[in-house]
Amino acid sequence: MCLHFSKLLYLLSLLHGMHQQQEEIATKKLRLTKPSKSAALHIDLCKATSPADALQYLLQFARKPVEAESVEGVVRILLEHYYKENDPSVRLKIASLLGLLSKTAGFSPDCIMDDAINILQNEKSHQVLAQLLDTLLAIGTKLPENQAIQIRLVDVACKHLTDTSHGVRNKCLQLLGNLGSLEKSVTKDGEGLAVRDVQKIIGDYFSDQDPRVRTAAIKAMLQLHERGLKLHQAIYNQACKLLSDDYEQVRSAAVQLIWVVSQLYPESIVPIPSSNEEIRLVDDAFGKICHMVSDGSWVVRVQAAKLLGSMEQVSSHFLEQTLDKKLMSDLRRKRTAHERAKELYSSGEFSSGRKWGDDAPKEEIDTGAVNLIESGACGAFVHGLEDEMYEVRIAAVEALCMLAQSSPSFAEKCLDFLVDMFNDEIEEVRLQSIHTMRKISNNITLREDQLDTVLAVLEDSSRDIREALHELLCCTNVSTKEGIHLALVELLKNLTKYPTDRDSIWKCLKFLGSRHPTLVLPLVPELLSTHPFFDTAEPDMDDPAYIAVLVLIFNAAKTCPTMPALFSDHTFRHYAYLRDSLSHLVPALRLPGRKLVSSAVSPSIAPHEDPSHQFLQQSLERVYSLQHLDPQGTQELLEFTIRDLQRLGELQSELAGVADFSATYLRCQLLLIKALQEKLWNVAAPLYLKQSDLASAAAKQIMEETYKMEFMYSGVENKQVVIIHHMRLQAKALQLIVTARTTRGVDPLFGMCEKFLQEVDFFQRCFIADLPHLQDSFVDKLLDLMPRLMTSKPVEVVKILQTMLRQSTFLHLPLPEQIHKASATIIEPAGESDNPLRFTSGLVVALDVDATLEHVQDPQSTVKVQVLYPDGQAQMIHPKPADFRNPGPGRHRLITQVYLSHTAWTEPCQVEVRLLLAYNSNSRIPKSPWIEGGEVSPQVETSIEGTIPFSKSVKVYIMPKPARR
């Protein structure tokens, strides 16, 4: 302390230089009770001889974080230097630092506000002014509660709005947008200040001469909206004028503003200029945004196309206009190709397209009635989908998807256009439109000619496209039996061309069959090539194409009891075989003359759902209530319940997550109880050295299980995390006790105890809000005794812990709403091959890995591939983010290549490939805002990284050959 004080004196004397004043030193001294980084800054700033030097020091200073306690001191020093500084660039940096500092957590910046406003008034440089306003913005956002400050800041902003520099005006508007409020008028009357209508002030700057300021004004308005202020309807007209601005960023922001207003006042009526008619505001806005889809700038086009998707209140005839583009040729009305296709279809003839002038124009058009540049929504999507930039096309497809989901009639109409997009030149667009089609598929039925176009894409060489299309076919409705036949034929063609698609195609046919049993029925004889009189040759059972046909038929037969009558003998045999080998694709059928055990089970699954859930609840409750029984009984009950839960999870897929989760928790508890039952606790330590194995193993296993619980399940809430962490804490306590028992000497215990106490402390800090729920628990008691523990010796600590661990009650684990266990299945490599993969040792061989992941959050960063070589060497591979696809909610697909290499082997051997889930306990802890590119401040050692294997491992036969010389 003494040292600090003298240093401080030295500093301050430096700071004040020539005009040293004793009293000022005295006052300063009190303020800087904790000299820290500010001290260094002082010396540096005073040493600085030139502005460039000072700037360097400030930059260096900014790299390190500042603790909340010393922020104020630093701010004072900076301000003082600010007054003296002549160079605007240094002042600018100081101003920006002030803003950064005021964001520090735990620091209340109201004390520096006065100074900031003061220096603002005397500042001449526009850049510094802008930066100071930014600082004020930071201060203002930090204190959202303080009305008076907000009002003051808004006043300051209004004063500087007339500045000549666009930067300053920008910042003022930003400030107004972030801090201005409407409710002010109520509170202000008493103070006698002029009531400011923030919206009016911002609105005035819509016509500023600088486009950047106009943009900022619109953004500020949007910011007001985001903060929950209701914008006036009058803004709509102002915003409409901005749509024809010369600058794209203004137009882009204006489109957004119009969208916002249209969502606020969808039903109010606006007049149509140059006519007496009136329309709903949302329709008018829709028309205007549609018009922007053919804007000159693609940024605006993307923006407009995106926003169209979310305007669901628009009237249906406006919506349908977006797909309408009246064609004409030489002033005569022409039908679109879509219309022609539809007509041909309805007339029963398939499109010939053979005649020239097939599309010959029909009736004459009244020249007056043709409107070439509609203000309305005409053809907006037609233009958007044909746009030059694929960004616009994707946005248009997305918008189409959203609108179609909310309007079935629109879905029907946009189908033709979506189908057309399947032929886009950019794969992303094709993929997106296929996905879109899948999303709206319950609203639509495909016509045969449309199906034809859709199916043509099956030959695409991109695997993603084909699989997306299979997914689409899974949920499409087909209208005719020819359609089904066509789909089957095309899928079989696909199968021969790309044999790797086998699984995906089978799955697709499964759904196709179960959705259209009546359409499949008339096709059965043809598909099975049966003949009423003659026996035909039995097809090859291993032919994937034949299996595909059977999958279609069997799934259709499930709801069509007359179908099995058409089967021939070998079909039944094949059914039995497939039902066994591909049970996920072939459903249980009630076949005549065959008893099926499973047939009784399948229809009764649905009504069972509730009881099984009840069963789960009951068994869990039983466990939680029976905790006071004698240990033997508790153990048995736990064992039985765990067994029950596991079985339940296997039977009921929708309850698997909950059941597994609870079972894991119970297992932890069981292990803990067992460990505490150990005899070693009763006997003097040195005698039972060996038996302690069991207890320490239990502690280890509990730790592992808790990590699994925390990171392998999606949908785990904070409630559960507390319990899990609590369990882990208990495991750590157990570990500590066991170590204390088995090690001689006290020295190593010191470290361990301290660490454990740190963990407790950390637990308390992290879950302070949840502590009330943990009454009577281990940690509750522990925290009561914390002061005592802090001062006691390790031996005592261990003793206390031991008794507490024994006394602690069993915490009830509340079940989350939705919980799913992360799982992964490796599809490829299949691990069946007997042919080793041969390669020259020292070189690499690429192994294709294809796996599906379920319920994995953020797989790009967590999923790893592990390869285990027979010599125990393990290799971890991080797949690229692009290797993950997301075919549906909660599902991911990993298609990647793994490179294997090894030194030469004498004979082929198997390597194991499996998937790991990496976790990092740090991810749950919020980061402090100050750290921007700086080093992370040393955390408590709780950031544990590790991996959990979550897929079955697959064995791959490889053979690195020695290189030939």
423: contact with another protein by CB under 8 A = yes
- By beta-carbon proximity to another protein, the closer residue of 376 and 816 is 376
- By beta-carbon proximity to another protein, the closer residue of 123 and 460 is 460
Applying CB under 8 A, among 328, 576, 578, 596 the residue interacting with another protein is 328
421: contact with another protein by CB under 8 A = yes
Q: Which stretch binds another protein (CB under 8 A): 23-31, 387-395, 475-483, 897-905?
A: 387-395
Applying CB under 8 A, among 29, 338, 481, 799 the residue interacting with another protein is 338
Applying CB under 8 A, among 117, 229, 456, 827 the residue interacting with another protein is 456
Within the chain, how many helices (H) and strands (E) appear? 42, 18
Q: Which stretch binds another protein (CB under 8 A): 66-74, 331-339, 544-552, 956-964?
A: 331-339
Residues 609-628 that bind another protein (CB under 8 A): none
Residues 481-540 that bind another protein (CB under 8 A): 497
The values of phi and psi at residue 451, to 5°, are -60, -40
Q: Which stretch binds another protein (CB under 8 A): 256-264, 372-380, 472-480, 621-629?
A: 372-380
Applying CB under 8 A, among 389, 746, 790, 795 the residue interacting with another protein is 389
- By beta-carbon proximity to another protein, the closer residue of 353 and 522 is 353
Q: Are 286 and 262 in contact (CB under 8 A)?
A: yes
Helix residue spans in 559-686 (DSSP H): 569-581, 597-601, 605-625, 631-651, 656-677
CA–CA gap between residue 265 and residue 281 (Å, rounded): 7
Q: Are 674 and 699 in contact (CB under 8 A)?
A: no
CA–CA gap between residue 198 and residue 181 (Å, rounded): 7
CA–CA gap between residue 170 and residue 164 (Å, rounded): 11
331: contact with another protein by CB under 8 A = yes
CA–CA gap between residue 226 and residue 231 (Å, rounded): 10
Q: Beta-carbon neighbour count of residue 191 at 10 Å? A: 8
Q: Which stretch binds another protein (CB under 8 A): 235-243, 277-285, 356-364, 642-650?
A: 356-364
- By beta-carbon proximity to another protein, the closer residue of 4 and 342 is 342
Q: Which stretch binds another protein (CB under 8 A): 139-147, 355-363, 510-518, 638-646?
A: 355-363
- By beta-carbon proximity to another protein, the closer residue of 173 and 560 is 173
Estimate the share of the chain in helix, then strand, then coil, as percent rounded to the nearest 5: 60, 10, 30
Q: What's the closest the beta carbon of residue 335 comes to another protein, in angstroms?
A: 9
CA–CA gap between residue 736 and residue 758 (Å, rounded): 13
- By beta-carbon proximity to another protein, the closer residue of 125 and 336 is 336
- By beta-carbon proximity to another protein, the closer residue of 369 and 565 is 369
Cα separation of the two ends of the chain: 74
Work out whether the CA dihedral 740, 744, 747, 751 comes out positive or negative.
negative
Q: What's the closest the beta carbon of residue 386 comes to another protein, in angstroms?
A: 6
Pairing relationship of beta strands 332-334 and 445-446 according to DSSP bridges: unpaired
367: contact with another protein by CB under 8 A = yes
Q: Which stretch binds another protein (CB under 8 A): 453-461, 531-539, 557-565, 866-874?
A: 453-461
| DSSP per residue, 192-209 | TPPP--HHHHHHHGGG-S
- By beta-carbon proximity to another protein, the closer residue of 248 and 660 is 248
- By beta-carbon proximity to another protein, the closer residue of 427 and 654 is 427
Q: Which stretch binds another protein (CB under 8 A): 72-80, 213-221, 368-376, 759-767?
A: 368-376
Applying CB under 8 A, among 85, 123, 398, 460 the residue interacting with another protein is 460
User: How many degrees, rounded to 5, is the angle at CA 410 between CA 408 and CA 413?
Assistant: 115
Residues 807-836 that bind another protein (CB under 8 A): none
Q: What's the closest the beta carbon of residue 440 comes to another protein, in angstroms?
A: 19
Applying CB under 8 A, among 6, 50, 207, 625 the residue interacting with another protein is 207
Q: What's the closest the beta carbon of residue 9 comes to another protein, in angstroms?
A: 51
For residue 513, with 0-12 CB atoms within 10 Å meaning exposed, 13-18 middle and 19 or more buried, which class applies? buried
Q: What's the closest the beta carbon of residue 336 comes to another protein, in angstroms?
A: 5
382: contact with another protein by CB under 8 A = yes
CA–CA gap between residue 131 and residue 467 (Å, rounded): 53
| DSSP per residue, 137-179 | HHHHHH-SS-HHHHHHHHHHHHHHTT-SSHHHHHHHHHHHHHH
CA–CA gap between residue 784 and residue 804 (Å, rounded): 11
Q: Are 509 and 476 in contact (CB under 8 A)?
A: no
Q: What's the closest the beta carbon of residue 243 comes to another protein, in angstroms?
A: 12
Applying CB under 8 A, among 364, 459, 693, 796 the residue interacting with another protein is 459
Helix H or strand E segment including 839: strand 837-840
- By beta-carbon proximity to another protein, the closer residue of 258 and 293 is 293
Applying CB under 8 A, among 2, 3, 194, 373 the residue interacting with another protein is 373
For residue 101, with 0-12 CB atoms within 10 Å meaning exposed, 13-18 middle and 19 or more buried, which class applies? buried
Buried b (16+ CB within 10 A) or exposed e, 899-930: ebbbeebeeebebbbbbbbebebeeeeeeeeb
Site string for another protein, 289-318 (x = CB under 8 A): -----x-x----------------------
Cβ-based neighbours of 561, under 8 Å, separated by 6 or more? 590
Site string for another protein, 223-252 (x = CB under 8 A): -----------------------x------
Name the residue type at position 390: Y
Q: Which stretch binds another protein (CB under 8 A): 333-341, 543-551, 717-725, 845-853?
A: 333-341
Q: What's the closest the beta carbon of residue 270 comes to another protein, in angstroms?
A: 21
- By beta-carbon proximity to another protein, the closer residue of 328 and 576 is 328
CA–CA gap between residue 531 and residue 490 (Å, rounded): 24
Residues 161-190 that bind another protein (CB under 8 A): 162
- Tokens 């502590």 label which residue? 771
Cβ-based neighbours of 607, under 8 Å, separated by 6 or more? none
Applying CB under 8 A, among 6, 316, 329, 818 the residue interacting with another protein is 329
Q: Are 558 and 589 in contact (CB under 8 A)?
A: yes
Binding residues with another protein: total (CB under 8 A) = 50
- By beta-carbon proximity to another protein, the closer residue of 497 and 878 is 497
Cβ-based neighbours of 428, under 8 Å, separated by 6 or more? 390, 394
Judged by the rule CB under 8 A, the positions of this chain that interact with another protein are 162, 207, 209, 246, 294, 296, 325-331, 334, 336-338, 353-359, 367, 370, 372-373, 379, 382, 385-390, 417, 420-421, 423-426, 453, 456, 459-462, 497
